Amino acid sequence: MPVPISDDELTRTTLARQGLLARSDDALEDVVGRVGGLQAQHADMPYVALWSRRAGQTIADLEAALTRRSVVKATLMRSTLHVVPSERWPLLDAVSGEQRAAAWRASARRAGVDLAELNAAVRAFCATPRSVDEIEEHAASLYPGTDVVGAIPGGVSRAWWRLASAAGGLVHVPPSGMWGSHAAPRYQDGTVWLADRLPLPLPQLAPDEARSLAVAGYLTAFGPASLADIARGLGIRGATAMKTALGGLDLRTYEARDGRVLYDLAGGEVVPGDTPTPVRFLPRWDQLLVAFDVRERVLDAEQAAAVYRRNADVLPTVLLDGRVAGTWASERDKDAATLRITTFVEPSAGARQEAEAEGLALLRYLEPDAPQVSVTWVEP
């Protein structure tokens, strides 16, 4: 029988596993892996996410890890960009690539393109770093006269790129991932870029085994979680695939207040509901706000519209008392940097003081050369 778990226990357990109850002193790669990777759609966001989770974190630390290839940036869970430990990349790439290939296989078939053959050819072409333009030109040259756009219902931009990269295998190479870099990304075969970091040839895992290992990693970072949470977080489609993946794990179950069954690894600990929660600033698209199907463990439903925008953006947020209590933005002019906090509710005097101290520290991290830094509030 599932064990009841309170809302406060669920919130604090999630924050603890995300490194948001206490910053970790562990190695950067270990922290990134334990929290399930870092969302990386925006170049600077992983740096903010890691600063809120790791003690003494500097921008140079993450840049060095990307350069020495102990972490890597790639399109993985939910077909979105993440920074993950290099040793975890093959597993996560295999699971996400399987899902993306399944989504694009029908279009490829209509175009007369063998998706696996195309992906293999493109990975060979990307033995050296290539731009999207170069990859598309090469892919099209392999199928002269083929109209892939017409084979995709509704049309799509970058059609050759989408088919060529669907099955995975490619990673970003610097300067992509570097602080402040908005250069067009270049891609390389991950087994080439990470050759010194991976056991080659890579072990071949059956799809069910790979999904099971990915689910275990998700629960380590986000559990306890429902089947729908796990499926959304990892981007896995199909109830049968999810149930098979769970069947390969030693699990315990909980019952949330709303009656949902939540799964966790048998050794996972539940944090007491009265555990103190520090103020934390989360970046745009932080995984805490996108890796669940039901997000009420950290965000009240009535505040969701202020965080999740119609253009699919997810704003930077501030956690007060363990809940998303507002959004934030930083501004910089010649002489000063300002952090503006827009709150949903009136913070207590203690929370306000703590948020201001944490906000000033964040500004010094973001704008180390600013002569002046300040925090201002936009009242609810």
Bridge partners for 255 per DSSP: 4, 261
List the structure tokens of 59: 């921008």
**Does residue 259 share a domain with residue 314?**
no
**Does residue 21 share a domain with residue 165?**
yes
Length of the chain, in residues: 380
Examine residue 286 and state whether it is found in any structural domain, yes or no.
Answer: no
Bridge partners for 187 per DSSP: 130, 172
Q: Does this model's pTM top 0.75?
A: yes
Which residue, among 218, 222, 220, has the nearest Cα to 210 in the 3D structure? 218
**Does residue 257 share a domain with residue 132?**
yes
What pLDDT does residue 239 have? 85
Picking from 275, 309, 343, the residue at the C-terminal end of a domain is 275
What pLDDT does residue 310 have? 82
Please count the CA atoms within 13 angstroms of the CA of 34 that sit on its side-chain side. 20
Bridge partners for 173 per DSSP: 186
**Does residue 261 share a domain with residue 213?**
yes
**Does residue 81 share a domain with residue 47?**
yes
Q: Please give the Cα distance from 368 to 337 (Å, whole number).
A: 10
User: How far out from the chain centre does Cα 226 lie?
Assistant: 18
Contact in structure between 307 and 299 (CB atoms under 8 Å): yes
**Does residue 357 share a domain with residue 247?**
no
**Does residue 238 share a domain with residue 131?**
yes
Contact in structure between 279 and 351 (CB atoms under 8 Å): yes
**Does residue 341 share a domain with residue 262?**
no
What pLDDT does residue 146 have? 92
Tokens 């892996």 -> residue:
33
Helical spans, DSSP H, in the chain: 7-17, 28-34, 45-51, 59-67, 89-111, 115-125, 132-142, 148-151, 159-165, 190-193, 207-222, 227-234, 239-247, 349-366
Sign for the CA dihedral angle at 101, 102, 104, 108 comes to positive
Burial (0-12, 13-18, 19+ Cβ within 10 Å), 240: exposed
Domain of 355 in residue numbering reads as: 299-378
Contact in structure between 77 and 233 (CB atoms under 8 Å): yes
**Does residue 174 share a domain with residue 108?**
yes
Burial (0-12, 13-18, 19+ Cβ within 10 Å), 141: exposed
What pLDDT does residue 44 have? 93
Examine residue 215 and state whether it is found in any structural domain, yes or no.
Answer: yes
What pLDDT does residue 238 have? 87
Examine residue 280 and state whether it is found in any structural domain, yes or no.
Answer: no
**Does residue 5 share a domain with residue 48?**
yes
What pLDDT does residue 235 have? 93
Strands of the sheet containing 81-85, edge to edge, are 38-39, 81-85, 71-75
Residue 24 has phi, psi (to 5 degrees) of -90, 145
Q: Each residue's pLDDT tens digit in the chain (380 positions)?
A: 899 999 999 999 999 999 999 999 999 999 999 999 999 998 899 999 999 999 999 999 999 999 999 999 999 999 999 999 999 999 999 999 999 999 999 999 999 999 999 999 999 999 999 999 999 999 999 999 999 998 888 878 899 999 999 999 999 999 999 999 888 999 999 999 999 999 999 999 999 999 999 999 999 999 999 999 999 999 998 889 888 999 999 999 999 999 999 999 999 999 999 999 999 999 999 999 999 999 999 999 999 999 998 878 999 999 999 999 999 999 998 889 999 999 998 888 999 999 999 999 999 999 999 999 999 999 76
Burial call 37-50: b when 16+ CB within 10 Å, e when fewer: bbbbebbbbbbbbb
Residues 6+ apart with CB under 8 A from 12: 21, 271, 272, 273, 275, 277, 322
**Does residue 305 share a domain with residue 268?**
no
List the structure tokens of 160: 């050759």
**Does residue 360 share a domain with residue 227?**
no
Strands of the sheet containing 261-265, edge to edge, are 3-4, 251-255, 261-265
Looking only at the bridges linking them, the beta strands covering 186-189 and 170-173 are antiparallel
Examine residue 248 and state whether it is found in any structural domain, yes or no.
Answer: yes
Question: What is the number of domains present in the chain?
Answer: 2
What pLDDT does residue 289 have? 96
Examine residue 290 and state whether it is found in any structural domain, yes or no.
Answer: no
Residue 377 has phi, psi (to 5 degrees) of -115, 135
